[in-house]
Amino acid sequence: MKLERSSNVFFALLSLAVAVSFASVSAFAQTDAISLTVDATRTPQKFIPCQEVIPVKPGPLTLYYPKWIPGEHSPSGPIANLTGLKFTADGKTIPWRRDLTDVFTFHLDVPAGVDRLDASFDYLEPIGGGEYGGSLSSTDKLIVLEWNQTILYPAGPTAREIMVSPKLILPDGWKFGTPQKIESQSGNETTFATISLEELVDSPVIAGEYYRGIDITPPGEPIHHEIDLAADDAADLDMSPEVKQGLTNLVAEAGALFGTRHYRDYHFLLALSDHVAHFGLEHHECNDSRLPERALLSPEASIMIGGLLAHEYVHSWNGKFRRPADLSTPNYEVPMKTDLLWVYEGLTDYLGPLLAARSGLWTPEQYRANLANIVASLGEGRPGRTWRPLLDTAVGEPGLGFARGWMNWRRGTDYYDEGDLLWLEVATIIHQQTNGAKSIDDFCHLFHGGPNEGPQLKTYTFEQVVEALNQIAPYDWAKFLHERLDSTSPNPPTGGIENGGWNFVFNGEPIKTPSRHAVADDEYTVGLQVGPDGTVFDSIVNGPAFNAGITSGMKVVGVNGRLYTHDLLEDAIKASKDNSNPISLLVVNDDYYLNCNVDYHGGERYPHLIRNESKPDYLDELDKPKVSAAAAAAASM
């Protein structure tokens, strides 16, 4: 999972609580597959009728709407969009009632003599709001179908045990991409092969009027890889040869990093639209990624593609194949525990940019600029780290994850970015402890390795992460990790950058390299994140603007006596260095004007990494391409 800023082998550790929840075994007759038909012909109206035929036996039946969505790490199933719910059997209506303590749970009684239940409901694409996949997933021209939104499933068996035969009906002429196997096609109706509910929820479909599939399998790679694009206009599908090559390199470099794959084939599903939310959601054999409509046409196409798609792709190994045991639940009703997200997301957030750089989607300068921005945003930009340690940002995810405003003090999903710094430090410690004999690639080979048996789940615990690290480089990893996870230091962990031969600094030199993180110019000076219209997104607690009375949610409307523009604020910050007067900001709070005098005299400040010539440049060594390097080494032998 990743929110864009700019712009299964089941395991033995199921808790007693799980066993108890299974006690509500109901009248599901686990003999046949559930047949599911999703009618997406009215996608432009955002109205998706769904029909299910569920094999049942007489008696009480409990059905669930998927609640805890894999990769979303929270009870984010879009239950409010489930409407028009009706059940019938043999032509007679069967009444239903919602559970009094869980709105995702429905109860009904199956009459005597009935062996199949017909369920019908309409999934409404939300007009606004919603989280992740539950936000708007369709436009006039395209749809991303995440199957968890269009199915009710019976209590009792695991998601792996429930079989589903899915059928999808699309608007005339629309094409689609998915890792699912097609059983038959007739006109605009496609019947997919029967698969488990677990696999179905893991295998979304992207479809649209404007669709293009592009093969990105590297030469000599036996497994097929493609990117399936759907966009709001035909012109948006124009991928440059550089981006295509970068994606092909990404597939090759990921193969080299992990030494194996855990999928039968792989599809990057990419929706290009300004109407859908922009984020990515990982699956074993595909990812559901969503970027602005003209992303591929932008000069920053490689940065965006490298930032989002490399992250989601890494999840096929780290997150889907290897997953924390307590995030691996038997169905979508059992709550997930999120304490190891600093591995699931944090290691992914380190390896994604690393692969983006190795594959040429990012330049080494862009890779370093990204790290510099992370250090700044987690250091001066995050006084909240003095009360909330990294571990708690992971544990608190289900309730607090993507809260808006006051991020500097609240902290957000910092286990992503801080995970990047933490795992970079791990990579440099492996290098140091083994005198260069081993690298983070060896850890990935060990931790994410094993034969390719298609989508599999191999769970892990904290202790098993430590054990794997010790197999690569003996070290007190448990102590190191606990220190990083429990720290309330105001300073972010920059050990990896320093071990890698670089130092983090603020200076007055503007950042020339565009990178994944949009830099708020004012955050590290007056302590404000301000939108183009003056809206204050964040005000660093105890920063100059905060101390002048400005906080999140207010709006700056004047700078030194003139109507606010962002340029004027920048001018005032620049001039502050030679000026003993405060910067005067006129601010609107609710419907009152406030005059705020910001006592700041430091001029412009931008985050940078600068080379420390006394140490070897291991940072650069790490992000060099491995596939072409290996090919060059082989050629020179």
Contact residues for Zn ion (CB under 5 A)? 1-2, 345
* 77 and 69 Cβ atoms separated by less than 8 Å: yes
- Of 303 and 314, the one with the shorter C-beta distance to Zn ion is 314
Minimum gap (Å) between residue 37 Cβ and Zn ion: 31
Minimum gap (Å) between residue 398 Cβ and Zn ion: 15
- Spatial separation of the C-alpha atoms in residues 323 and 334, rounded to whole Å: 16
- Spatial separation of the C-alpha atoms in residues 369 and 355, rounded to whole Å: 15
Which pair of tokens denotes residue 252?
Answer: 């090759």
Terminal alpha carbon distance of the chain? 42
Minimum gap (Å) between residue 344 Cβ and Zn ion: 7
Minimum gap (Å) between residue 391 Cβ and Zn ion: 18
- Spatial separation of the C-alpha atoms in residues 276 and 289, rounded to whole Å: 10
> In terms of DSSP bridges, do strands 163-169 and 34-39 run parallel, antiparallel, or are they unpaired?
parallel
Minimum gap (Å) between residue 135 Cβ and Zn ion: 16
- Spatial separation of the C-alpha atoms in residues 423 and 297, rounded to whole Å: 33
Determine the length of the chain: 637
Minimum gap (Å) between residue 368 Cβ and Zn ion: 22
> In terms of DSSP bridges, do strands 266-272 and 286-291 run parallel, antiparallel, or are they unpaired?
parallel
Minimum gap (Å) between residue 464 Cβ and Zn ion: 20
- Spatial separation of the C-alpha atoms in residues 98 and 108, rounded to whole Å: 9
Minimum gap (Å) between residue 312 Cβ and Zn ion: 7
- Of 2 and 283, the one with the shorter C-beta distance to Zn ion is 2
- Of 2 and 284, the one with the shorter C-beta distance to Zn ion is 2
- Of 211 and 415, the one with the shorter C-beta distance to Zn ion is 415
Count the Cβ atoms, other than its own, within 10 Å of residue 101: 6
- Of 212 and 323, the one with the shorter C-beta distance to Zn ion is 323
Cα–Cα nearest to 118, from 200, 33, 36: 36
119-129 b/e (C-beta count within 10 Å ≥ 16 → b):
bebbbbbbeee
- Of 123 and 460, the one with the shorter C-beta distance to Zn ion is 460
- Of 306 and 501, the one with the shorter C-beta distance to Zn ion is 306
Count the Cβ atoms, other than its own, within 10 Å of residue 565: 13
- Of 345 and 538, the one with the shorter C-beta distance to Zn ion is 345
432 bridge partner residues: none
Nearest residue (beta carbon) to Zn ion: 1
Please, what is the angle between helix 414-433 and helix 477-486, to 10°? 150
